[in-house]
Amino acid sequence: MSRLSYEAFLAQRKEIIQQEESRALGADIVLTEDETKVNEFVMKLKKAELEEGFNAPVEFAPSRHFFQVLDKISQSPLYQLLRKMPKGGILHTHDTAMGNTDAIIQATHREHLWQSGDFGGSNPIHYRFSKTKPAPIDGAGEWHLVSDIRKELGSEKYDLNVKNLLSLFHQDPHHAYHCVNHVWSKFAQIFITLEPLVTYKPVWDEYYLHALEQTYADNVCYVEFRGLLPPVYDLEGKIYTSEEIVQNYIDLTEQFQQAHPDFVGVKFIYAPLRIVDDNTYAQYFDTAEKLHKRFPTFMAGFDLVGQEDLGRPFTDVNDRLLNMSPTIQFFFHAGETNWCGLSDDNLIDAILLGTKRIGHGFAAVKHPRVLEEIKKRNICIELNPISNQVLKLVDDMRNHVGAILFSDNYPVVVSSDDPAFWCASPLSHDFYVAFLGLASARQDLRLLKKLALNSIEYSAMSPAEKDEAKQKWTVAWNKFIAETLKSIS
Amino acid sequence: MSRLSYEAFLAQRKEIIQQEESRALGADIVLTEDETKVNEFVMKLKKAELEEGFNAPVEFAPSRHFFQVLDKISQSPLYQLLRKMPKGGILHTHDTAMGNTDAIIQATHREHLWQSGDFGGSNPIHYRFSKTKPAPIDGAGEWHLVSDIRKELGSEKYDLNVKNLLSLFHQDPHHAYHCVNHVWSKFAQIFITLEPLVTYKPVWDEYYLHALEQTYADNVCYVEFRGLLPPVYDLEGKIYTSEEIVQNYIDLTEQFQQAHPDFVGVKFIYAPLRIVDDNTYAQYFDTAEKLHKRFPTFMAGFDLVGQEDLGRPFTDVNDRLLNMSPTIQFFFHAGETNWCGLSDDNLIDAILLGTKRIGHGFAAVKHPRVLEEIKKRNICIELNPISNQVLKLVDDMRNHVGAILFSDNYPVVVSSDDPAFWCASPLSHDFYVAFLGLASARQDLRLLKKLALNSIEYSAMSPAEKDEAKQKWTVAWNKFIAETLKSIS
């Protein structure tokens, strides 16, 4: 038995640290001279927050529940810089939860809106746009015009109630949500309450455009969103078909792009609920095939959504998924769970079904073969750190599995899932948490640039679309670098 | 682009699951016929708790704070079975925190014990055994005889106060301890308050023997504990030297072994505080060399203890550690932190210093090169799941990094750190949490047997000692299998 000489020790220590740095996500990025200067500034901001947190851990925002540090983060110079940074695309977000609730609050000021149930009452609240009083709902209260309720409560108070109704935000989230099923039931309830508000055709259009505006303002240039294609309706009794809704998405996107030519675009992943019966699955598959045929580029692919622990496992439908047209790409949620050897087996199915990306993949680190296949097949994991915290998979963000994936160059992107429901920005809050809480103290601007590039690389865009996207993003990135440089010199 | 046939899919799915099973810790264990029957019973108990937890996550004990589920766990048939199971050795525990507080409460009934400060008062409480009133301590209150305070408060109430004083237990731990530094300061204060009570020579002996009794009763046959060798004293003013204290440990252990011939034995790791000045480090090294020379087998090696984030990093002392006699083995705490790229760099130092095992290694999963070296050098990670939860590294045990290490056959043992301070049994509670919370739902009796065998394999025992240990453990194990089989048939 012998020990190293101190010289040999120091040399080997340096080597291991270098090897780890070279394996970390973003290590392949070579910064320009200007980027290097901006990087020094970024790292000064990052180190200041790390140092504050190291000295007083309770002050470290990513170690606490997002709801408790929202204000603190808004004041963070690092967060403010990340807001401005061109972050590429959002590859994991959901139709009715990607904008904030402002557009919905505005919608409740529209005429012909009816409500049953009281705020804070025991009956859940139902909404419906209708020229006449809607038909009664079993077990629900009487319908009243929102305009009347608004008068009674006062307009500001009414808006505040809507805001609370459509968010999981709570001052004391640890006590408000006692377990994962509990928070998911509240989460699902928001979607249900929201649906008849947002699926009213005028609101539907407004909400979508508003979400794109916010996304664009958050310096995100591309969106690939999951949607259920709920029944959009109008006052005349028209119910829009799936194909009409998708066509409408395309039209609105074009309209948006005309106003914002540097915006790259949108693609849509058809993602209905996994917890349904076999007949409903059959309808899904029909719809997916129809949409794929009609919108072969706008419709990027197929997914299934809803709480994975409680939903039907892939084993129930593997055979039918394998029978879908092979040109329909899969972007499956899988492993969004704390369990090991139970619902997380969905990860294995998702990979063998040929999924192009994995939504969340939180449990992947407990599956050594899954990790190998992810690298071998270059399957991108869509990390949604704030979502995972709010939906009770992880508490301290430094324990988020993304930290492990970042450390060894796994193909990942950072995304935001349902930012509206937790009062987060479209992407910047998740980038902040990922950069400060998940990443090593050593990971720098190269990680951020890599995450932005990955969001293009692992998107469902065609090679030509990717080229154009990268071009547009590069213009924005260079402008960001130049402006940041100017502001700090 | 094409998809697998359903047959090919099913075959590949089966293969991946088998490959993962064969890579999991314990997969190399082949169970006997009797063990297989016991395994079925063990898995019935495990599955019942998993199922309950899957249906109502809040009921799943390993997902909640240990303090909130202590009573629930005591009633668990799985826990009761694990109590009886011969678990091998405890390789990571600390001198004055391995027994429970009963022996200390008894000690406060002894005469000549003085106290300053009141329970629940603002001054910390000090104790001292002395024939006459001890000298005043700066800033502390007046000394009173404990016998007088006991009379005033009532004996039962006094004992309860001592029990609370010497434990981190709290009904609402999330609110009681707001961050890692906060809980560590309370934790360190317990050691400080406890020291003059436990280092009184008659109590010292009693405490150690009591701890061994409890450990033995928990079906643990071997202990390797870290100790600071604090100044043991008596009423005549004698202060015991480090060598006298170690000799005393040896004598007491022999006495214990004579009464319990199936108990394998004890080894000692000299582990003083890492947050001291250079001169104190010099004294440590002297003491370590002296003890190593005099007790080459009982003293297993050297370590440094205390909160890693706040203590001095290895980089301060690497050169001097490398200069220690190469026959002194290292068993370093390292990576007991949530940070990445900061204090967790201690992991790299520990490995290059040649550590034989790593205490906690919680941050290792964020270090791909560290993980590789751990496997290559066969360095055992001493997992202490409950300690990591109480000291605020992790909340839900399913997120404990041990889950990852279990999934890919890393060399690990499960240990208990300071069970007295969180009202845990010497080892069974940690085994319960590891088996139910960290391990995959698929991992079975083979994991438990492997953990027991690892505790012998990765101990500091000589090959001959290991042979004897394994023999004694096997006798106990076979008896456990036979008795369990009898009780279930």
Q: Do B369 and A443 lie within an 8 Å CB cutoff? A: no
Exactly one of B336, B373, B400, B429 is catalytic; name it.
B336
Give the number of residues written for chain B.
489
For residue B381, the Cα-to-chain-centroid distance in whole angstroms is: 12
B140 pLDDT band, cuts 50/70/90, is confident
Tell me whether strands A143-145 and A222-227 are parallel, antiparallel or unpaired.
unpaired
Given a contact cutoff of 8 angstroms between Cβ atoms, the answer to whether B488 and B323 are in contact is no
Q: What whole-number distance in Å separates Cα of residue B409 and Cα of residue A317? A: 32
Query: What is the residue-averaged pLDDT of chain B?
Result: 97
Query: Which of the 8 DSSP states describes residue B205?
Result: H
Catalytic entry in B360, B367, B400, B429 = B360
Q: With an 8 Å Cβ cutoff, are A13 and B182 in contact?
A: no
A266-270 average pLDDT score: 98
Predicted confidence at residue A141, as pLDDT, reads 85
How far apart are alpha carbons A152 and A147 in whole angstroms? 9
Residue B467 has pLDDT above 90, yes or no: yes
Token pair, residue B129, equals: 């055994």
Q: Is B130 helix (H, G, I), strand (E, B) or coil?
A: coil
With cut-offs at 50, 70 and 90, classify the pLDDT of residue A99.
Answer: confident
Ranges of H-type helices in B260-299: 278-294
CA A49/CA B353 separation, integer angstroms:
31
How many residues in total does chain A contain?
489
Is residue A16 within 8 A of residue B352, CB to CB? The reply is: yes
pLDDT band at B77 (very low <50, low <70, confident <90, very high): very high
Instruction: Give the mean pLDDT of chain A.
Output: 97
3-state secondary structure chain A: CCCCCHHHHHHHHHHHHHHHHHHCCCCCCCCCHHHHHHHHHHHHHHHHHHHHHHHCHHHCHHHCCHHHHHHHHHCCHHHHHHHHCCCCEEEEEEHHHCCCCHHHHHHCCCCCEEEECCCCCCCCCEEEECCCCCCCCCCCCCEEEHHHHHHHHCHHHHHHHHHHHCCCCCCCHHHHCCCHHHHHHHHHHHHHHHHHHHCEHHHHHHHHHHHHHHHHHCCCCEEEEEECCCCCECCCCCECCHHHHHHHHHHHHHHHHHHCCCCCEEEEEECCECCCCHHHHHHHHHHHHHHHHHCCCCEEEECCECCCCCCCCHHHCHHHHHCCCCCCEEEEEECCCCCCCCHHHHHHHHHHCCCCEEEECHHHHHCHHHHHHHHHCCCEEEECHHHHHHCCCCCCHHHCCHHHHHHCCCCEEECCECHHHHCCCCCHHHHHHHHHHHCCCCCCHHHHHHHHHHHHHCCCCCHHHHHHHHHHHHHHHHHHHHHHHHHHC
The CB-based long-range contact list for B142-146 (8 Å cut-off, 24+ gap) reads B142/B116, B143/B114, B143/B115, B143/B116, B144/B114, B144/B115, B144/B116, B145/B113, B145/B114, B145/B115, B146/B108, B146/B113, B146/B114, B146/B115
Distance between CA atoms of A185 and B57, rounded to whole angstroms?
Answer: 13
CB pairs A-B closer than 8 Å = 174
How many angstroms separate the CA atoms of A193 and A191, rounded? 6
Instruction: Give contacts of A375 with chain B, Cβ < 8 Å.
Output: none
Beta-carbon neighbour count of residue B220 at 10 Å?
27
Q: What is the mean pLDDT of residues A420-447?
A: 98
Q: Which residues contact B77 (CB under 8 A, 6 or more apart)?
A: B45
Cα–Cα distance for residue pair B137/B127, rounded to 1 Å = 11
Q: Catalytic annotation on B224?
A: no
Q: What percent of chain A has pLDDT over 70?
A: 100
Helix (H, G, I), strand (E, B) or coil at B100: coil
In the numeric block, which tokens belong to residue A419?
Answer: 């930012």
Q: Chain B: residue nearest A348 by CA?
A: B13
* C-beta of residue A62 within 8 angstroms of C-beta of residue A437: yes
Gyration radius of chain B's alpha carbons: 23
Tens digits of residue pLDDT in A341-368? 999 999 999 999 999 999 999 999 999 9
ipTM: 0.96
| Maximum alpha-carbon separation in chain B | 88
Task: Measure in Å the smallest separation between the Cα of A132 and chain B Cα atoms.
Answer: 43
d(CA B122, CA B119): 9
Q: How far is B43 from chain A (nearest CA, A)?
A: 13
The model's pLDDT over B321-351, given as tens digits with 9 standing for 90+, comes to: 999 999 999 999 999 999 999 999 999 999 9
Beta-carbon count within 10 A of A351 CB: 25
Q: From CA B197, how far away is CA B166, in angstroms rounded?
A: 11
Q: 3-state DSSP call for residue B76?
A: coil
Across the interface, whether the CB atoms of B394 and A398 are under 8 A apart is answered: no
Record the tokens describing residue B95, joined without a space.
């001198």
B4 CB neighbours in chain A (<8 A) are 322, 352, 354
- Identify the residue among A328, A388, A398, A409 best suited for mutation to test binding to B, counting B beta carbons within 10 A and taking the highest: A398
The percentage of residues in chain B with a pLDDT greater than 90, rounded to a whole number, is 96
pLDDT of residue A202: 98
Distance CA B4, CA B12 (A): 10
- Taking the alpha carbons at both ends of chain A, their separation in whole angstroms is 55
Closest CA to B338 of B401, B382, B418, B380: B401
- From the candidates A366, A405, A410, which should be mutated to test the interface with B, based on the most B CB atoms within 10 A? A366
Nearest by CB: A340 against B3, B16, B440: B440
Give the per-residue pLDDT at A140.
Answer: 83
CA angle (B330, B331, B335) in 5-degree steps: 120
Nearest to A398 among B56, B340, B404 (CB): B340
Alpha-carbon distance of A386 to A365, in angstroms, equals: 18
Per-residue pLDDT, averaged over A397-405, amounts to: 98
CA-based nearest distance B175→chain A, Å: 10
Count each helix (H run) and each strand (E run) in chain B, helices first: 20, 11
Contact A420, A97 (CB under 8 A): yes
Where are any strands of DSSP class E within B288-328? 299-302
Mean pLDDT of A89-107: 95
**Nearest to B330, CA basis, from B391, B284, B367:** B284
Q: Does pLDDT of A1 surpass 70?
A: no
CA of A12 vs chain B CAs: smallest distance (Å)? 8
pLDDT for residue A34 is more than 90:
yes
Contacts of B94 (CB under 8 A, 6+ apart): B225, B226, B227, B271, B305, B417, B418
> Which phi and psi angles does A252 have, rounded to 5°?
-65, -40
Largest CA distance in chain A: 88
How far apart are the C-alpha atoms of B386 and A439, rounded to whole Å? Answer: 26
Q: Are B166 and B180 in contact (CB under 8 A)?
A: no
Chain A residues whose beta carbon lies within 8 Å of the beta carbon of residue B439: 340
CB contact under 8 A, A352 and B13: yes
Residue A466: partners with Cβ closer than 8 Å, 6 or more residues away: A456, A457, A459
Can you tell me which residue has the tokens 């022996």? B103
pLDDT digits (tens, 9 = 90+) for A178-203: 899 999 999 999 999 999 999 999 99
Q: What residues have CB less than 8 Å from A396, skipping those under 6 apart?
A: A62, A63, A64, B338, B394, B395
List CB contacts of B458: < 8 A, sequence separation 6 or more. B91, B356, B357, B380, B411, B413
Catalytic residues of A, by residue number, are 336, 360
Residue B367: list chain A partners with CB under 8 A. Answer: 20, 407
Residue B386 near residue B424 (C-beta atoms within 8 A): yes
Q: Tens of pLDDT along A146-162?
A: 999 999 999 999 999 99
Q: Which residues of B120-138 are buried (b: 16+ CB within 10 A; e: fewer)?
A: eeeeebbbbbbeeeeeeee
Region A405-431: what's the mean pLDDT?
98
Q: What is the pLDDT of residue B86?
A: 98
pLDDT for A211: 98
In the block, residue with structure tokens 């699902």: A188
Both tokens of A306, joined, read 């809803």
At A458, which amino acid appears?
Y
Alpha helices of B377-462 — where are they, by DSSP H? 385-390, 402-407, 428-433, 445-457
Per DSSP, which regions of B326-457 are E strands?
A: 329-334, 357-360, 380-383, 412-414
Contacts of B173 in chain A (CB under 8 A): none
- B336 tagged catalytic: yes
Separation of alpha carbons A308 and A310, rounded Å: 5
Cα–Cα dist A470/A454, whole Å: 10
B116 Cα to chain A: minimum distance (Å): 31
Instruction: Retrieve residue A467's tokens.
Output: 């080229």
- Quote the Cα angle for B307-B312-B318, to 5°: 125
**CB contact (8 A) between residue A439 and residue B340:** yes
Q: pLDDT per residue over B257-297, tens digit each?
A: 999 999 999 999 999 999 999 999 999 999 999 999 999 99
Q: Do B369 and A399 touch (CB under 8 A)?
A: no
- Residue that has been written with the tokens 């649906």 in this structure: A195
Please give the backbone phi and psi of residue B77, each rounded to the nearest 5 degrees, phi first.
Answer: -60, -30
Q: What residues of A are in contact with residue B332 (Cβ under 8 Å)? A: none
